[in-house]
Structure 1
């Protein structure tokens, strides 16, 4: 019989890494709260998993408060996954509105959801896992907005761990490299399928959403005294952010 581990909240659960993580955590014994803006998708996922669907735009304070209320007092795990990249323009041509949206979702949204759920997570000796990116490791051409947002999210992770060092809550980070999902690059390029496909062209076996969900599930289920500060996960073809083998 699968061990019951309490309630896990997964933001950005409507697709990609978020949906895969919700499935993995349900299999690991969590009751999963699937949170995202697209209610039809998370309702279908929650029905599949026997979980709860909560419409939540992490940049909306009222929806974040409702998410915390619906999650309830048995929450032991938060996966801050909502976010994403927009655009690939050089700084000289930057779409600063897109930069603000990336900061709002990847950083402020993660901070807001964490703040709302943190008292319950501390009471339950729980855990927060942030899904960041190797983009936080350093800049690349066209990536200033996204790299900056993910670096700020990493700073949030590091600071939170220091501030809560004497409290019974674990703060972890999973930092993926190249992951091929249906929507990440498509969203980044405003629905341009050709540009989205070019990101992965010739790359043998990029990571999948399930690969990252597997890592998140492993981090989440370590013994209570074990904290995985940061796990960096890349496909074998990606030796570094700028070093990718293409056949």
Structure 2
């Protein structure tokens, strides 16, 4: 596991068995403590998000998008895992159809429409534009009551996103858009292989990534999430049989 930053060359490459603990140990100071106004906004968001089981502190908001579209199995698997995990309040804004290889494209000279959709355990919208449009519109404050989410996740997308592919990837671009807004972000991709990968593998991938997401949320809450980078997670085909995750 490696997190992209200017001083990566001074950190050793950890063993795969220590992925989660190393994620927590290498991340540097990130976020200031929330202001009183932000707390008020977060409380307002609770009225539209799933109710907490008790009167404890509000859960962090996680915003999801997926280049595969609102109906993609990867998005559904990740939402289901996060909702069942109970660690955060889940919000979804995704394209109304598959938007692969869009890069960091945005919609201009056209109206971008947003339509509320049913998504078990999450408040969700489908957008007529690109994945970057989804993040930009969400973080503008036009769709949700919260001021800003704690974390943005792009995924789980079908197909690898590494090397030169990252320049064209809609999935990476959506996470990069969040980073440009100063919001921590993660991109997750499953190495899809034709006639081999099954939709059920997205569920396995979500379960494999859930501890990493929870570790990131813990660091964000402590103010120790690494500044100025996004995490790009690559899950291998048949993740239940191949549990080594590539992170960059």
Structure ranking higher in helix proportion: 1
- TM-score, normalised with respect to structure 2: 0.45
Q: Which has the higher contact order (CA 8 A, sep 6+)?
A: 2
